[in-house]
Amino acid sequence: MRRGESKADCLARLEGLYDLAAPDWRGRVTWRRDYVSRGRTGALDLPGTTWRDRPAIDRGGDVFLAGDSVAAPGILAEVSLNSGRTAADLAVERLTTLHA
């Protein structure tokens, strides 16, 4: 988020980028939540827990979760990238199985 930018303006800017990268992404969204976090560390595993204790990427029913606080290894952006890649791999695998 740019300094002084509102959440709405930031989301509009990012959605414009998504529109260029994946024009039909809006039709594939099944649930969405957005928020602004300041002073947050991202994925944080409390003592006695690991990334494996976070919510699973495969939520069942052909729903896959990607983000910075899901069951994927890494810290901060790495978790989002790893979970996104895993979710995409699972979705393609599911499609391949359905259409085989």
Tens digits of residue pLDDT in 47-63: 898 888 888 889 999 89
Q: pLDDT over 70 for what percent of the chain?
A: 89
Token couple for 46: 């409390």
Higher pLDDT, 54 or 40: 54
Tens digits of residue pLDDT in 26-37: 998 888 888 887
pLDDT at residue 87 above 70? Answer: yes
pLDDT at residue 41 above 70? Answer: no
Average pLDDT of 82-95?
A: 89
